[in-house]
Structure formats: structure tokens, C-alpha cells
Chain A
Amino acid sequence: MNPSGSMGVLEQTEEERLSTPNLEPSVYSDNPQERIQARRLRIAARLEARRREALGEYIDGKKESEEDQSKSYKQKEESRLKLSKLLLCGTELVTNIQVAADIREIHRRVEEEEIKRQRIEKLENEVKNSQDKFDEITTKWEEGKQKHIPQDLWEILNTQQLHCAGLIEDKNKLINELQQELKVKDDQYVKDLKKQSDDICLLLERMEEQVKDIMKSFRQELSHIEKAFELERQELLTSNKKKWERALQNHNSKELEYLINRIKKVEDYEKQLNKQRIWDCEEYNMIKIKLEQDVQILEQQLQQMKATYQLNQEKLEYNFQVLKKRDEESTVIKSQQKRKINRLHDVLNNLRSKYAKQVKQFQEENHSLTSEYKRLVLQFKELQRAMRHFAIIDDEKFREIWLMNEEEAKGLIDRAFDVDRIIHIQHLGLPWTAPDFWFLKNVGPISQQQQKTATQIVEEVLKQADEEGLEEGASESSYLDLPKQISAKTTRKILMLLCDESGFLIESKLLSLLLPLEKNECYLLRLDAIFSALGIESEDDLYKLVKFFLEYRAHHLSASQISPWTQANLERSSLMEKSLMSEWDLEQEQEAESLLEGEEESSVGGEQEEEEAPPSPKLIHPNEVLKVLEAFVMGLRKPRNFRAPVRMTKSKRDNSKDSEYWKALATVIPSSTQNLWDALYTALEKYHLVLTQRAKLLTENNSLEQQNSELQLLLQQYLHSKINSELQIPPTHVFRVPTK
């Protein structure tokens, strides 16, 4: 391994590491740590580039320093490589002994194995041989036993002995061999031990040597590295010193230049100053002369002024005297005025206090009065409430009393009628008819009929219309409330029209609610809504409406004929008409259709129209309904205003008819009948008298009859008693005699 080559390579890698540090961690890597690092590097590189651009000329110097740095780095790397190599070699050197021992051991084992195998083979051979020999000997023994001749036996024995000896010898030889081997092995063991101890010694030696070497080399390398650093430092120092000196020289030369410049400038300034001084002197002198002249002129003026001053002083003194006098006068006046002011102030204060007092008083009064007023109002309200309450109660009471009286009167009348009837039927034998008076049917206090509300009317109208289908003609009799000229039918039609045309007055919610209802009910509710919107409340209003419609129609037919009461409305509606003129054309087209409708309806209602007083008109065109309505509403508004107080008075009931009523009640029996009754009375009294006399006589008669019977009884008793028999002469005899 040549160190220079490896170093070169290392340098190369080092350079590569330095030159391409930002390429290695990729921004697109999967490892987040790496990505972060990559970004950091990128940012650092950008900053570096910017800095370099800014510094520009320093790049060269920097490169130099980098080279310097790499010098020490080179030294470090070199040392490190050298040392690691040294370490590796050292350990190899040391472990070489172990490896050598290992391989020796392996060789020994192999050899041992071989020898062992040979030995075993040999032993086996030996065993076989000896076994053969032994067998031979044993067979010979058998042979020997068969021998009987001693010589033979001896011979055999000898041979046997020989054989045995041979066998033993063989064995001994083997044993010797083995022992020899053992000895050799022992020797070898000792040798091995020695060798091993030598090895260990060598190992120790090498280790020590290695330690020493490494220590030495480490120290060397350390000193090398230190030297390299020292060198680098010194180089750096010298270069810096040079730079410093250069800078110092530069500085000095610049200082000198500045000094020279400064001296030159000082001289210049001195010259300028001198020039300035001379010029100033001249100017000063000129100004001085001029000013002296000025002073003289001014002194002259001063003299003049002094003269005028004295003159003025005298004048002023005189003026002063005059003014003093005036001042005195004015002080006197002032004091007078002051006194007056004081007086007036006092008055003012007095007045003020009075005013305040009065204000207070009035406020209090006001307060008290307002409270009084409030109280009174309250009282009044309470009174009103009480009055209302009492009115109600009175009404009730009145009604009750009325009812009671009426009942009483009616009872009396009934009795009278009964009596009259009895008199007529029983006593006079005349047929009796009950008199028929309106007030008899009346119950409760007489009052004006309640006005029906518009909706009730409408309901009635509608109901009427329904019923009309069943029974014709009945309408006239039941519909007495309607004005004569208006039939129920027309009213209904008008209302229907109104209902159809002025649907906009109804709330949409209501419409949706109305859908499922019957036709009539639906109309009713819709009309109700419309009326409430138009402000039609009472029956009268409704009739007015109907009337209005009819008249409008009439007016429409004959435009020239304008009734005075619609004139004002029409004037207003004409304005509307103008705005509606554009629509007029369209409406005319529709008119044709509506006319058809109108004809149809008129044909339906033809039967009724004959009876109606106004000439049967064409029905109002639906488009005009709105106009009519507007006119009506305008018209209605006025009367509505003064209706409220009228209402109030209406609540008072008129008792004008009451006396009439009561009188009528009282005179339910006419005077002719009374006369009749008087006559009858006297006659009956007479009759009564007769009857009573007769009754008296009857009772008398009765009593006499009774007395008679009693007496008869007594007599009988006496006659039949025992005493009679005892007596000389019985009474019966006495009686008998007379009786006989």
C-alpha cells in the first residue's frame, strides 16, 4: 500500500465531500430528517453565495485559508491512516503467534490421528497374529495330551515353551515400542511446553514492543499534527501581521495627506480673514461718518420738539385744571348715583324675594290644583264607573221592576179578562173575544230595535237566497228590514260582485283557510273581511252601500243625470278614471264578456226583477266596482265622523212611550165594559141581598125544625120512663088525652 496513493484518494473523497455537500441529502427523500437537513444546506448555500457576491474580492484570500486548513486536515488524516495501519499490523503480528500455534495444533492433531490409526492397525495385526499363535499353541496342547511317550511330550513341551516365549516376546516388544512412543511423546510434550512458553514469551515481547511502538508512533504523530497546526498558525500569524502592517502603512500615509491638506486650508483661511478685516474697517469708518451726521440732524429736531413740548405742557396744564373741576363734580354725581343704585338694589332685592315667594306660592298652588285636578279626574272616572255601574244596575232594576209591574199588570189584566170573560159568558151569555193589543205581547221595557251588524244582514241575505230556491216569494214577507226598493236578490248579486272583485282586501292567509269551506260560508267570511276593511259596520252602512251601487248604476246609464250627493265623489273618482283610462280599452273588451254574464244573470233573476221598484238595470260592470267602492268609501268617511256622538245619545232610552204603554195597560178594559160591569154589579148586589135574606130564612127554618125534633125526642123520653108507670096518672095519659 503506497501511502501517497491512498492519501490522494482520501483527498479526493474529502474534496468531493466538501464540494458537493448539498447534493447528498435529497429534498425529495423519504426520510424527513434528511429532507430537513437538505433544506438547511440549501439555505446555507444560498446565504453563502450572497455573501460571496457581496464580498467579492475576499474570495481569493478565503481560498488560501481553506488550503491552509486542508493542510492540517491532511496531516491529521495521514496520521490517522498511518496509526490505524500500525495498529492493524501490530495486532496481526501479535495474533500471528496464536494463529501459528493453532495451525501447529491442527497439524499435530492430524498427525496424531494418523499415528493413532496406524497404531490401532498395528495392534489389531498383532492381536490377530498372537491369536493365531495362541490358537496354534492351544491345539498343540491337545496334541500333547495324546502323546504318551515322555520324550515326545518333553519335545512338545519344549516347542510349546518356545512358542510361548515367542509370543511373550512379541508382546513385550510391542509394549516396549509403545513405551518408547510414550517416552517420545513425553519428550515432545516437554518440548511443546517449552515451545509454548517460548511462544508466550514472544507474545509478551511483541505485545510490549507493540505497545512501545504504538506509543512512540502516537507521540510522533501527535507532534507531527501539532507541528502542522503550529506551522499553519504561524503562517496565519505572519500573513495577518503583513496585512496589519500594510493597513497601518496605508493609514499613516493617509494621515499625512490629511495633515498637509489641513495646513493648506489653514493658510487659505488666514488670508481670507485678513482681507475681510480690512474691508470691515473701511465700512466701519463710512458708517461712523454717516451716523454722526444723523446725530446732528436729530439734535436739531430735538430742540424743535422741546419747544413744542413746552407749549403743549402749558395747554395741558390748563386742561388739567378744567378736568379736575369736572372730576370733582362728577364724583359728587357719582356718589349720588351710587346711593340711588343702592336704594334701587334694595328695591330690586325686595321685589325679587317677593317674586320668588309668589312663584313658590303659585307653584304650590299649581301643585295643589293639579293634584286636586288629578284627584277630581280620578273621582270623576270613578264616578263615571260608578255611574256606569249604577246605570247598568238601574237598567237591570228598571227591567226587573218593569217586569214585575208588567207581570202584576198582566196578572191583573188576565184576571180582568177572566172576569170579563166569565161575566160575558156566564152572566151575560154573550160570546167573548179576547182583545188583541200590541202591548200585551210586549215583555220587558220598550226599547228601540237593535241595529243588526252588516254581516248578520249579509248572512241573512245569503240564507235568504238559498231558501229562495225552495220557496219563492217568502223573501218579501221576511225581508221587511230591507228598504223597499232593494230586493234581496239584487243585494245578493251586488254582494257577490263585491266579493269577487275586491278579493285584494282579504288577507291571503284567510283565503287559504277559506278554500275548503262551502260556497256560502266562504262568501260570508270573505264579505266579512271586506266589510271590516271598508269600514262597514252596521246594517245602515250596508244598505247605503247597496243603494249607492244602484244609484251609481243609474248614474252610469245616464251620465248627464248626476245626483247631487254623488257629485263630489264623482269629481274625485273622475281623477281616478283618468288614470284608469289606459285600462279602459282593455276593460271594454272584457265588457263584452261581462255583458253576456249580466244577461245570463238577468235572465235568471228575471222573475224577481219584475217586482222591483227601480227599473231593472244592467248589472254593474265588475271593473267599475272598484270605482264605486272608492266613491262609497269617500262618501262614507264623512258621515262616519259625526256618528260617534249620535251613538252616545242613542244609548239613552226614551221613556216617552212608557206612560203610553202603562196607560194602555191600565185602560185595557174599555169604559163601556166598565159601565156594563157597574150596572151588573148593582144588579148582582141586589140579587145578593135577596139571596142572603133567603138564606137567613132558610137557616131559621132549619133551627126551628131542629127544635121541634128535639122537643119530640124529649117528649118521647118522658113518656117512656118508669116513673110514668109508677105514677098514678101517667103523663102519657095526660098526653094521650090531648093527643086523642
Chain B
Amino acid sequence: MQGALTPPILSGPSQSAVSNQGLMPTASQASNIAPQPSKTFSSSGPLAAKTKPHVRRMRRIIAEDPEWSLAIVPLLTELCIQHIVKNFQKNPILKQLLPEHQKKVLSHLSPDLPLAVTANLIEDENYWRRCCTQRWPVCHVAKHGGSWKHMFFERHLENLLKHFIPGTTDPSVILDLLPLCANYVRRIRVDQFLPPVQLPASLQTRELSDSGSEVESEEPTMDHYQLGDLVAGLKHLEELDLVYGVKDCGMNFEWNLFLFTYRDCHSLAATIKACHTLKIFRLTRSKVDDEKARILIRSLLNHPGLEELDLSHNLIGDRGARAAAKLLSHSHLRVLNLANNQVRGPGAQSLAHALAHNTNLVSLNLRLNCLEDEGGQALAHALQTNKCLTTLNLGGNELSEPTATLLAQVLAINTTLTSLNLSCNHIGLDGGKQLLEGMSENKTLLEFDLRLSDISQESEYLIGQALHANREAARQRALNPGYLMSPIIANVPGNSVE
């Protein structure tokens, strides 16, 4: 305590202020002390200057002052805590204190303290909550594992990455942060990577884009920030969500801004291969074509932890799909998202082949591709043997009646599928009836999207009834798991017919 009270850097006036406060606490002074802590955080210099004349003036004890009382004298511990808070940046003392004092110190610390001091010292969630709310108006702490500290560091790092300009910004800005945030970053979600600045004259990226069009030929220099070093330093990284593009470019649009170069691709592939803790990898809206997809997926083969792969909104064709199919059989992938790509029949066939004997994949999204009946039938065949997949999205794939017929058979057999999306296809009236027949024997499907798929209103309604019955049964099962639900399930078909 003594050491904490008299550090060598203590300024003269403040010291005298403290001693004076301790010696003669007067009523008016006490009123001064009360707001003091809040001021102390911002700057000690002006405060000392401010309090000094007060103290001078209040030197004498006014005996007849009726408001004077001993209770107003702040405790020595209180004073010490104030001091610690004031000098926290230069002399951080926290662990040595008693728990209640720690709490007090933490509640009074400024969120502007340098991270180098606070990062590994402070665990208190309330402090980091204050830091977060001060920096960002909207905070979804649930998205960051419920930890404010994690949220702070993840968003801080994302911010840095978003505004990193290769060649201009100093890479040490990010790498210096690495030892501080390594323990707290679980997830990196970056929705923009800025390309390097071409003209030294224009420092702003948006201005750069103008000139970028002029120097279009210098493509090799368009590489983005290489994540390798950063990711290698993050021990707990689990999720990587990247978009190689520029946000808010406005009228400065340039194709160049949205270029995912081969070098980027190679370095990214090496990065994710080296990161064994990775569970979720997303690379969307980044113009990933077959070649790049193959490079990336090859690096992901036999990855120990990967569970989710999202390559939606890219330019992946049949070859990329084949690579993804290979990945299915060489990893523990649970979720695969290839929505809005250019996968056609052959790609779907290879995926179906991999799916037929896969036991890990739970969700497959092939929305907005061009599978057509060829691919649809292959997938339906695969579903006859698959016992794992629960969610399948085949919306907008130009499927028609033959696929529907096969899927109706699958529905009658399969007991794992809970969600199926066939919206925006040309299934037709007959296909709708067949699906209804298949649905009448299914007891597990809970969601079945058939909007805008040219089927009759009647069959859509009846399928809706069947789904409702299934949902009720599932609810009953969830409510009392030990209960045998056979009578209620038996009751359901009558219900749906009604």
C-alpha cells in the first residue's frame, strides 16, 4: 500500500492534494472528492491544478459548519484505489489487491487504456463491456461466444484487417497486436480486403480505384494482405469468414477491386492448412473459380477439425464440385454450402456419389445452381442410402418431374431428412402429386419448401398438413422423450386427410 501511495512519478501538487485531503477533510472538500474519480480517469494534471486552490482556501476548520461530519472522510483504501486507477497505465496493480478492491479498480478504469497494459491483465467482463459499448454502438455479444473480451479483440482485429492497405500500412500494426489477442480471438470475420495502393499520390483507397483503372495491367501487384503470419499466431482460431472485395466503393467501382488473385489463393490455402484448430471456413462473394476452389480444397483434405465449408456466391463449376465431393470423403465436414455457383449435372453426380456413403455431412446447400434433372436424380439416389443428411437445399435448380418422382420414393424410405427445399423448380402438377404420396408415408420431415414450383394448390396444402402433423409428433417426442408416440403418429394421417 505504501508503495502504491508514493510512486516516484507522482506529481507534487497531486501529492499535496492527497495529503491535504487526508489531513483536513471539510464539507466542501468532501463534495469535491465525490466527483473526483470520474475526473481522475481522463487526466490527473488539470484536476490537480483545479483542486489546489480549493485546498488552499479550505485550510481552516470551520467549527460552526453544521454540515461537517467525519463520515465524509474518504477511507485510505479508497484513496489508494483512486491512485492506482489514476496511474494504472504506468503502474498496473491489480492482481495483488483484494477481490473487492479489484472490483472497484476495474469499475473505475478508463476504456481508453492501451491494450498492451490491459489485454493480458484484465479478465473482468464488465470492463471489456464498457470498452465495446464505447467503440461500437451495436454489440451482439452472443455472436462472440458470450464473452465481451473476445468480442472486443475479434472486432478490433477485424477492424484492423479491414483497413489494412498492403504496401502502405505497416504490417507490424497487426503483428504487434498478435501476442495480446492470441488467447482471445476465436473468429475472424472480414468482409473487405483492400487492394494495394497503386499511386503514391492517392492515399485513400477510394481515390486509388480511379487510378487503378489506369494501371490495370499491373495485375500481379493486386495481392491482398497475407493472413499466414496472423493466423499462425492465433492459437484458438476456429472460424474464418473472408470476403475478398471492397465495400462501399460507390462510383469508384472497378473490377480490379474484386480480384482474388492466385497468390492470394495459394497463401490462403497454406494458411488454412496450417491452422489445425479451424472449424468453420467461409469464403464467399470472392469470384472463386474452379481452379482456385481446387487449390483451396486440396489444402483442406484430411484437415483434422474442419466442420463447415461455405463457398457460396462464387464461380465454382463442375470441377470444383468434384473437388468438394472428394473433400466430403476425406474430412469430417458437417456442413457444405455451395449456393449460387455454377454447378451442373456432372458436378452434382460426383457430389451424390460422395454423399451416398458419407456419414458426417448434415447439411448440403446447392441453391441457385444448374443441377437439372440429371444431378437431381443422382442426389435422390444417393439419399436412398445416406443415413446422415438432415438438411438439403435444392432451390432454383431447374429440377422437374423425374427428380420429384425419385425424391418421393426417397421420402417414403428416408428417416433422417428433416428439411428439404425444392422451391423455384419446375416440378409440375404430376410431380407434386407424387411428392404428396411420398410425403404421406414420411414421419420425419419437418420443413418442405415447394414455393413457386408449379405444383397444384391442393397438393401443396396437403403436404403442409402432413408437415404440420410431423411437427406435432416431433414436439411431443421432444416434450416426453421416453414416451412411445405410436398412437398419436397413427392418428396423424387421418388428420392430414381431413
Q: Does A99 contact B (CB under 8 A)?
A: yes
Q: Does B209 contact A (CB under 8 A)?
A: no
List the B side residues contacting A249 at CB < 8 Å: none
List the A side residues contacting B486 at CB < 8 Å: 24
Known pairs A34-B482, A96-B451; A24 contacts B487 (CB<8 A): yes
Q: Would you call B396 and A25 a contact (CB within 8 A)?
A: no
Interface of B is mostly: loop
**Residue from B423, B452, B483, B495 in contact with A24 in the complex, judged by beta carbons closer than 8 Å:** B483
Q: Does B491 contact A (CB under 8 A)?
A: yes
**Residue from B396, B423, B487, B498 in contact with A105 in the complex, judged by beta carbons closer than 8 Å:** B396
Q: How far is the CB of A649 from chain B (nearest CB, A)?
A: 112
Q: Does B415 contact A (CB under 8 A)?
A: no
Among B368, B398, B484, B494, which residue has the most Cβ atoms of chain A within 10 A?
Answer: B484
Return the CB mask of B184-215 against A: 1 if under 8 Å, else 0: 00000000000000000000000000000000
Known pairs A1-B465, A9-B498, A105-B368; A99 contacts B424 (CB<8 A): yes
Chain A residue at minimum C-beta to C-beta distance from B367: A102
Q: Give Cα A13–Cα B487 distance, bound, in whole angstroms.
A: 8
Q: Does A708 contact B (CB under 8 A)?
A: no
Q: Give Cα A34–Cα B485 distance, bound, in whole angstroms.
A: 12
Q: Would you call B487 and A20 a contact (CB within 8 A)?
A: yes
List the A side residues contacting B495 at CB < 8 Å: 6, 9
Q: Give Cα A34–Cα B480 distance, bound, in whole angstroms.
A: 12
List the A side residues contacting B494 at CB < 8 Å: 9
Q: Does B488 contact A (CB under 8 A)?
A: yes
List the A side residues contacting B471 at CB < 8 Å: 84
Q: Would you call B498 and A37 a contact (CB within 8 A)?
A: no
Q: How far is the CB of A32 from chain B (nearest CB, A)?
A: 11
List the A side residues contacting B423 at CB < 8 Å: 99, 102-103
Q: Give Cα A103–Cα B449 distance, bound, in whole angstroms.
A: 14
**Residue from B367, B368, B395, B491 in contact with A12 in the complex, judged by beta carbons closer than 8 Å:** B491
Q: Would you call A103 and B396 a contact (CB within 8 A)?
A: yes
List the A side residues contacting B491 at CB < 8 Å: 9, 12-13, 16
Q: Does A723 contact B (CB under 8 A)?
A: no
Q: Would you call B451 and A99 a contact (CB within 8 A)?
A: yes
Q: Would you call A13 and B488 a contact (CB within 8 A)?
A: yes
Q: Give Cα A105–Cα B495 distance, bound, in whole angstroms.
A: 38
Q: Would you call A106 and B368 a contact (CB within 8 A)?
A: yes
Q: How far is the CB of A475 from chain B (nearest CB, A)?
A: 113
Q: Does A615 contact B (CB under 8 A)?
A: no
Q: Give Cα A37–Cα B481 distance, bound, in whole angstroms.
A: 12
Q: Would you call B498 and A5 a contact (CB within 8 A)?
A: yes
List the B side residues contacting A6 at CB < 8 Å: 495
List the B side residues contacting A13 at CB < 8 Å: 487-488, 491
List the B side residues contacting A103 at CB < 8 Å: 396, 423-424, 452
**Residue from B424, B465, B484, B488 in contact with A25 in the complex, judged by beta carbons closer than 8 Å:** B484
**Residue from A34, A96, A106 in contact with B396 in the complex, judged by beta carbons closer than 8 Å:** A106
List the A side residues contacting B482 at CB < 8 Å: 25, 33-34, 37
Q: Give Cα A120–Cα B452 distance, bound, in whole angstroms.
A: 31
**Residue from A16, A20, A37, A106 in contact with B424 in the complex, judged by beta carbons closer than 8 Å:** A106
Q: Does A100 contact B (CB under 8 A)?
A: yes
Q: Would you call A99 and B368 a contact (CB within 8 A)?
A: no
8 A Cβ contacts from B284-330 to A: none
Q: Give Cα A95–Cα B484 distance, bound, in whole angstroms.
A: 35
Q: How far is the CB of A163 from chain B (nearest CB, A)?
A: 37
Among A5, A6, A37, which residue has the most Cβ atoms of chain B within 10 A?
Answer: A6
Q: Would you call B395 and A102 a contact (CB within 8 A)?
A: yes
Q: How far is the CB of A574 from chain B (nearest CB, A)?
A: 102
Q: Give Cα A102–Cα B465 distance, bound, in whole angstroms.
A: 26
List the B side residues contacting A109 at CB < 8 Å: 370
Q: How far is the CB of A29 from chain B (nearest CB, A)?
A: 8
Q: Give Cα A602–Cα B398 distance, bound, in whole angstroms.
A: 140
Q: How far is the CB of A36 from chain B (nearest CB, A)?
A: 10
List the B side residues contacting A106 at CB < 8 Å: 368, 396, 398, 424
Q: How far is the CB of B245 from chain A (nearest CB, A)?
A: 17
Q: How far is the CB of B255 from chain A (nearest CB, A)?
A: 14
8 A Cβ contacts from B414-470 to A: 423-424, 449, 451-452, 465, 468
Q: Give Cα A102–Cα B487 distance, bound, in whole angstroms.
A: 41
Interface of A is mostly: helix
List the A side residues contacting B483 at CB < 8 Å: 24-25
Q: Would you call B484 and A99 a contact (CB within 8 A)?
A: no
Q: Would you call B452 and A17 a contact (CB within 8 A)?
A: no
List the B side residues contacting A12 at CB < 8 Å: 491
Chain B residue at minimum C-beta to C-beta distance from A29: B484
List the A side residues contacting B395 at CB < 8 Å: 99, 102
Chain B residue at minimum C-beta to C-beta distance from A104: B424
Q: How far is the CB of B487 from chain A (nearest CB, A)?
A: 6
Chain A residue at minimum C-beta to C-beta distance from B495: A9
Return the CB mask of A91-135 against B: 1 if under 8 Å, else 0: 010011001101101100100000000000000000000000000
List the B side residues contacting A92 at CB < 8 Å: 451
Q: Give Cα A244–Cα B433 distance, bound, in whole angstroms.
A: 63
Q: Would you call B452 and A99 a contact (CB within 8 A)?
A: yes
Q: Would you call B484 and A102 a contact (CB within 8 A)?
A: no
Q: How far is the CB of A143 from chain B (nearest CB, A)?
A: 44
Known pairs A9-B491, A16-B491, A25-B484; A100 contacts B498 (CB<8 A): no
Q: Give Cα A12–Cα B484 distance, bound, in whole angstroms.
A: 17
Chain B residue at minimum C-beta to C-beta distance from A85: B468
Q: Give Cα A17–Cα B485 distance, bound, in whole angstroms.
A: 10
Q: Would you call A24 and B484 a contact (CB within 8 A)?
A: yes
Return the CB mask of B137-168 against A: 1 if under 8 Å, else 0: 00000000000000000000000000000000
List the A side residues contacting B424 at CB < 8 Å: 99, 102-103, 106
Q: How far is the CB of B231 from chain A (nearest CB, A)?
A: 33
List the A side residues contacting B468 at CB < 8 Å: 1
Q: How far is the CB of A110 from chain B (nearest CB, A)?
A: 8
Among B396, B449, B465, which residue has the most Cβ atoms of chain A within 10 A?
Answer: B396
Q: How far is the CB of A73 from chain B (nearest CB, A)?
A: 13
List the B side residues contacting A24 at CB < 8 Å: 483-484, 486-487
Q: How far is the CB of B454 from chain A (nearest CB, A)?
A: 11
Q: Give Cα A16–Cα B489 distance, bound, in whole angstroms.
A: 12
List the B side residues contacting A99 at CB < 8 Å: 395, 423-424, 449, 451-452
Q: How far is the CB of A484 from chain B (nearest CB, A)?
A: 118
Q: How far is the CB of B385 from chain A (nearest CB, A)?
A: 27
Q: Give Cα A13–Cα B486 distance, bound, in whole angstroms.
A: 11
Q: Give Cα A325–Cα B282 distance, bound, in whole angstroms.
A: 147
**Residue from A1, A17, A34 in contact with B488 in the complex, judged by beta carbons closer than 8 Å:** A17
Q: Give Cα A284–Cα B454 distance, bound, in whole angstroms.
A: 123
Q: Give Cα A106–Cα B372 distance, bound, in whole angstroms.
A: 12
Return the CB mask of A5-42 against B: 1 if under 8 Å, else 0: 11001001100110010001100000001100100000
Q: Give Cα A102–Cα B482 distance, bound, in whole angstroms.
A: 42
Q: Give Cα A96–Cα B450 distance, bound, in whole angstroms.
A: 11
Q: How far is the CB of B483 from chain A (nearest CB, A)?
A: 7
Q: Give Cα A84–Cα B474 distance, bound, in whole angstroms.
A: 14
Q: Give Cα A100–Cα B368 distance, bound, in whole angstroms.
A: 12
List the A side residues contacting B451 at CB < 8 Å: 92, 96, 99
Q: Give Cα A547–Cα B301 distance, bound, in whole angstroms.
A: 126
Q: How far is the CB of B345 from chain A (nearest CB, A)?
A: 15
Q: Would you call A100 and B452 a contact (CB within 8 A)?
A: yes
List the B side residues contacting A37 at CB < 8 Å: 482
Return the CB mask of B206-247 against A: 1 if under 8 Å, else 0: 000000000000000000000000000000000000000000
Q: How far is the CB of B370 from chain A (nearest CB, A)?
A: 8
Q: Give Cα A24–Cα B452 distance, bound, in whole angstroms.
A: 42
8 A Cβ contacts from A311-344 to B: none
Taking A1-B468, A24-B484, A99-B395 as known contacts, 8 extra A-B pairs with beta carbons closer than 8 A to each other, sorted by chain A number, are A1-B465, A6-B495, A9-B498, A13-B488, A99-B452, A102-B423, A102-B424, A106-B368
Question: 9 closest A-B pairs (Cβ-Cβ)?
Answer: A103-B424, A102-B396, A102-B424, A24-B484, A99-B423, A99-B451, A9-B495, A106-B396, A103-B452
Q: Can you list 12 A-B pairs, Cβ within 8 angstroms, ordered by A?
A: A1-B465, A1-B468, A9-B494, A24-B484, A37-B482, A84-B471, A96-B451, A99-B423, A102-B367, A106-B368, A106-B424, A109-B370
